[in-house]
């Protein structure tokens, strides 16, 4: 029988071996370790299913109870499928990412319910590897890399011990895994840096509606931004190529709202059509030419998932480097054809507003003028007030309205009284208390009633400067609404009515504009040391997003330029590095071909060589003890030492292995001492 046949039969026998109680426990533990990170991203119902099934399996293991039968497992599987179907119908009939991962995890737990042999345990471990990789479909923070590496090491360890139970005593699993990591990480790093980057991912997965990050929408009603502003969730990060502008000038423009129905402001779909020509790219010749002009800033934005179509940029966005499906509307909004369902990083070049600069000297076309002056019926008091300003120049009408808001009894608050009836009239002449959407909406209404074209803009204002990384962190609590008015010879001009009511909101942020009872932020009350720790962690995340997740074709080109390979083809570089790695690995591969000698056999051959040099060679058919007895006759002064060495060789070479690696190592050490002490002479 050949060696290959014997190995195949041994492997088949090993895989058919029943799992021990300890091995069952390790399988349950490894599945729990893989499932725990997924609980933060999956729906609550899914987490409950995981918890019930895993608790059931754990109780069976603790009580050493028999595993459930096929009928019980079948009914449980059907119930799991029905729950998945119900959840999919709830989300619009789309299985999607969340439910797919949940289904894999649930059926993996059920697989443990019927795992009796090593073959089943190996299969469950392999499926755990797939479930482990599914974590990257939700998020990729920097600590996930460490977590994935540690969990993968645990899975490989269990895999090794399932295949070779004796390895627990003979080899150090930690040392073996350490060697694998030490050899694999450099190769993975080289492949990551040099593998040709793609402009788009190889696939995209549908995302569930429940996991979408709430934020600014294309509808603004009294209280909409006021509720959003209570959230400390991250909206995006921005890092500037040079010194960033002052925080009170950072108006992150998102969506332009044109239509007012008496209750809410909404976007006009006809205004969101693409502007003539393509979106300027920051690397284009035209964009490069204006890059050094006064008021032009370059910066990068890492946008969190919004499930909306627009991208944020400072007034006014000139160019953008992003996906190919990004367009610019006729109102200078940057819009994506598809909702943004994953974190996105893009480069923008903007020109900050300047009173001395003319943005658009051309008069408004009739359709735009009509839209910018349209008002629904009602709010007679506001209309009558605005009519009194009709004889003033447009710029003076703007100033009069701002003076109105800046005077008593108008106040800035996050807890305004609900508006009743005609909302604009009720706010201007009764409540006098509101948030940015109240003032922006009322101001635009007054301007239109006074004959000044105006529109509402929603976005964010300011942000928090990270003193460690230099990034500007913009949160949902920085959401803001302001106005833009059309002035002849100057074009659309930004006007912030909130600055007239609460200038501290613009200059120092929201916490300085409202009482602590209305807005309690952890960031405001935290001590200095905790703020430094938070900034450090945020800087780590920002660097990870910038240099790892954001490592695209442009950054790869920058790396090649730094290495002096500007004109090199990435594929040629990858092939060259691969060839170098292969040449470096050839000695290792050649060494692996040579079987590692048995230390016991090496020492015994040394004894035989010593005796042969003194005229007592060993016959090929002569056994160890027979050889030792013949040598004892020829060298009587070394007879006892020869017999002891031969007996030790037989015990170590052919003796029964009790599985105690430490005891065997001690016996081998003592026998080596006997071999070293052996002296023969003619």
Residues of the chain above pLDDT 70, percent: 80
* Contact assessment for residue 628 and residue 646, using Cβ atoms and an 8 Å cutoff: yes
**Confidence band for 215, pLDDT divided at 50, 70 and 90:** low
**Confidence check: pLDDT of 36 > 70:** yes
Q: What is the pLDDT of residues 374-383, one digit of tens each?
A: 999 999 999 9
What average pLDDT score do residues 502-524 get?
A: 69
**Confidence check: pLDDT of 531 > 50:** yes
Report the range of poorest mean pLDDT among 148-162, 529-543, 587-601, 631-645.
587-601
C-alpha 351/C-alpha 356 separation (Å) is 13
Per-residue confidence (pLDDT) for residue 357, from 0 to 100: 53
Which residues does the annotation mark as catalytic? Answer: 436, 480, 496
Longest CA pairwise span in the chain (Å): 133
The predicted model scores a pTM of 0.68
C-alpha 525/C-alpha 534 separation (Å) is 13
What average pLDDT score do residues 57-72 get?
A: 88
Does residue 64 have a cis bond before it (omega within 30 degrees)? Answer: no
Q: What is the pLDDT of residues 431-488, one digit of tens each?
A: 998 888 899 999 999 999 999 999 999 999 988 888 888 889 998 888 899 999 999 8
Q: What is the pLDDT of residues 586-617, one digit of tens each?
A: 666 665 566 667 888 888 888 898 888 888 99
Angle at 20 between CA 16 and CA 21, to 5 degrees: 145
473: CB partners within 8 A, 6+ apart: 234, 237, 463, 464, 465, 466, 538
**Confidence check: pLDDT of 347 > 50:** yes
Q: What is the pLDDT of residues 83-111, one digit of tens each?
A: 777 766 665 555 667 778 888 888 888 88
Read off the tokens for 101: 């991962």
* Contact assessment for residue 289 and residue 404, using Cβ atoms and an 8 Å cutoff: no
Question: Which secondary structure element, helix H or strand E, spans residue 23, and what is its range?
Answer: helix 21-35
Higher local confidence (pLDDT), 166 or 100: 100
Report the range of poorest mean pLDDT among 435-449, 564-578, 633-647.
564-578
Per-residue confidence (pLDDT) for residue 458, from 0 to 100: 93
**Confidence band for 584, pLDDT divided at 50, 70 and 90:** low
**Confidence band for 13, pLDDT divided at 50, 70 and 90:** very low
Per-residue confidence (pLDDT) for residue 115, from 0 to 100: 85
Per-residue confidence (pLDDT) for residue 384, from 0 to 100: 94
Higher local confidence (pLDDT), 482 or 166: 482
**Confidence check: pLDDT of 210 > 70:** no
User: Based on the number of CB atoms within 10 Å of its own CB, is 621 exposed (0-12), middle (13-18) or buried (19 or more)?
Assistant: exposed
Higher local confidence (pLDDT), 142 or 497: 497
* Contact assessment for residue 311 and residue 459, using Cβ atoms and an 8 Å cutoff: no
What average pLDDT score do residues 622-638 get?
A: 89
C-alpha 495/C-alpha 406 separation (Å) is 14
* Contact assessment for residue 299 and residue 241, using Cβ atoms and an 8 Å cutoff: yes
**Confidence check: pLDDT of 622 > 60:** yes
What average pLDDT score do residues 522-537 get?
A: 75
**Confidence band for 7, pLDDT divided at 50, 70 and 90:** very low
Tokens 């809410």 appear where?
264
Beta strand segments in 39-114, E: none
Per-residue confidence (pLDDT) for residue 54, from 0 to 100: 87
Instruction: Choose among 233, 205, 225, 457: nearest CA to 338.
Output: 205
Highest mean pLDDT among 333-342, 440-449, 507-516, 576-585: 440-449
**Confidence band for 208, pLDDT divided at 50, 70 and 90:** very low
> For the chain, what's the residue count?
682
Read off the tokens for 588: 């290792």
Per-residue confidence (pLDDT) for residue 585, from 0 to 100: 67
> Residue 472 forms beta bridges with which residues?
238, 465
What average pLDDT score do residues 332-358 get?
A: 80
**Confidence band for 513, pLDDT divided at 50, 70 and 90:** low
Read off the tokens for 306: 């919004």
**Confidence band for 404, pLDDT divided at 50, 70 and 90:** very high
Higher local confidence (pLDDT), 283 or 636: 636
Residues of the chain above pLDDT 90, percent: 16
C-alpha 302/C-alpha 351 separation (Å) is 19
What average pLDDT score do residues 654-673 get?
A: 80
* Contact assessment for residue 265 and residue 257, using Cβ atoms and an 8 Å cutoff: yes
**Confidence check: pLDDT of 205 > 60:** no
């Amino acid at each position: 029988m050949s060696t290959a046949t014997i190995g195949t039969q041994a492997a088949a026998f090993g895989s058919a071996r029943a799992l021990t109680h300890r091995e069952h426990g390790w399988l349950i533990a490894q599945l729990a370790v893989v499932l725990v990170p997924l609980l933060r991203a999956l729906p609550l119902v899914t987490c409950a299913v995981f918890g019930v099934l895993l608790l059931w399996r754990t109780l069976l293991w603790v009580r050493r109870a028999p595993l459930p039968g096929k009928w019980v497992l079948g009914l449980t599987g059907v119930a799991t499928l029905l729950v998945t179907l119900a959840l999919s119908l709830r989300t619009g009939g789309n299985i999607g990412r969340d439910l797919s991962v949940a289904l894999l995890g649930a059926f993996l737990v059920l697989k443990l319910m019927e795992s009796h042999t090593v073959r089943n345990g190996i299969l469950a471990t392999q499926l755990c590897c797939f479930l482990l990789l599914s974590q990257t479909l939700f998020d990729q923070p920097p600590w996930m890399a460490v977590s994935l590496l540690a969990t993968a090491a645990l899975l490989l360890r269990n895999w090794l011990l399932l295949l070779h139970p004796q390895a627990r005593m003979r080899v150090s699993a930690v040392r073996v895994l350490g060697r694998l990591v030490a050899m694999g990480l450099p190769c993975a790093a080289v492949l990551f840096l040099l593998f040709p980057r793609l402009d788009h991912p190889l696939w995209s997965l549908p995302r569930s509606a429940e996991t979408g990050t709430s934020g600014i929408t294309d509808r603004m009603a009294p209280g909409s931004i006021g509720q959003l502003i209570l959230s400390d969730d991250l909206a995006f990060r921005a890092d500037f190529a040079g010194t960033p502008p002052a925080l009170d000038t950072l108006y992150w423009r998102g969506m332009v709202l044109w239509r007012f129905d008496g209750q809410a402001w909404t976007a006009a779909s006809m205004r969101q059509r693409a502007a003539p020509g393509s979106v300027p790219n920051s690397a284009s010749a035209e964009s490069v030419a204006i890059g050094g002009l006064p008021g032009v800033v370059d910066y990068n934005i890492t946008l969190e998932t919004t499930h909306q179509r627009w991208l944020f940029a400072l007034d006014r966005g000139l160019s953008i480097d992003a996906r190919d499906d990004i367009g610019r509307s006729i109102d200078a909004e940057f819009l994506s054809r598809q909702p943004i369902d994953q974190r996105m990083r893009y480069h923008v070049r903007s020109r900050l507003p300047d009173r001395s600069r003319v943005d658009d000297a051309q008069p408004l076309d009739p359709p735009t003028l009509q839209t910018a002056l349209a008002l629904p019926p009602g709010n007679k008091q506001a209309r009558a007030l605005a009519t009194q300003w009709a004889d003033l120049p447009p710029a003076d009408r703007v100033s009069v309205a701002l003076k109105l808001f800046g005077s008593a009894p108008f106040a800035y608050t996050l807890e305004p009284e609900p508006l009743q009836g005609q909302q604009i009239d009720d706010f201007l002449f009764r409540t006098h208390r509101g948030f940015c959407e109240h003032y922006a909406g009322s101001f635009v209404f007054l301007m239109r009633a006074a004959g000044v074209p105006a529109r509402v803009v929603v976005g964010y204002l300011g942000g928090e400067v990270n003193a460690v990384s230099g990034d500007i962190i913009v949160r949902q609590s920085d959401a803001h609404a302001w106005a833009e008015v059309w002035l002849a010879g100057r074009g659309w001009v930004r006007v912030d009515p909130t600055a007239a009511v609460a200038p501290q909101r613009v200059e120092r942020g929201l916490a300085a504009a409202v009482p602590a009872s209305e807005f309690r932020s952890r960031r405001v009350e935290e001590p200095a040391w905790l703020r430094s720790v938070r900034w450090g962690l945020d800087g780590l995340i920002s660097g990870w997003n910038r240099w790892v997740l954001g490592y695209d074709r442009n950054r790869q080109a920058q790396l090649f330029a730094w290495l002096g390979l500007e004109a090199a083809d990435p594929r040629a570089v990858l092939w060259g590095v691969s060839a170098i790695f292969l040449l470096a690995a050839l000695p290792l591969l050649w060494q692996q071909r040579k079987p590692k000698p048995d230390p016991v056999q090496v020492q015994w051959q040394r004894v035989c060589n010593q005796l042969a040099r003194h005229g007592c060679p060993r016959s090929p058919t002569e056994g160890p003890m027979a050889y030792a007895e013949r040598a004892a006759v020829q060298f009587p002064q070394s007879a006892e030492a020869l017999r002891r060495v031969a007996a030790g060789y037989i015990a170590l070479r052919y003796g029964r292995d009790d599985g105690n690696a430490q005891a065997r190592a001690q016996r081998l050490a003592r026998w080596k001492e006997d071999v070293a002490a052996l002296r023969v002479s003619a």
